């Protein structure tokens, strides 16, 4: 995750690899909606309740 700190968007750890199926389907859905309404490629998901993304993880 440290390698991705310099990218201009927020990166989230999606957990186990088995979650990949859901994430890929969400991405396909996002693209379909964007193409339908003429916003492709300028569309993204917004997730609420995750904080600013710059806090340190407390274990």
Query: Which residues, 6+ apart, have CB-to-CB distance to 43 below 8 Å?
Result: 30, 31, 33, 34
8 Å CB contact between 34 and 43: yes
pLDDT score for 50: 67
pLDDT score for 43: 80
pLDDT score for 36: 92
The residue ranges of the chain whose pLDDT is under 70 are 50-59
Query: Which residues, 6+ apart, have CB-to-CB distance to 53 below 8 Å?
Result: 10
Q: Could you read off the pLDDT of 11-26 as tens digits, one per residue?
A: 778 888 888 888 889 8
């Amino acid at each position: 995750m440290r390698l991705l700190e310099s990218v201009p968007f927020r990166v989230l750890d999606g957990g186990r690899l088995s979650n990949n199926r859901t994430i890929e389907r969400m991405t396909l859905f996002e693209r379909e909606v964007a193409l339908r309404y003429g916003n492709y490629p300028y569309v993204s998901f917004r997730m609420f309740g995750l904080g600013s993304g710059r806090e340190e993880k407390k274990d």
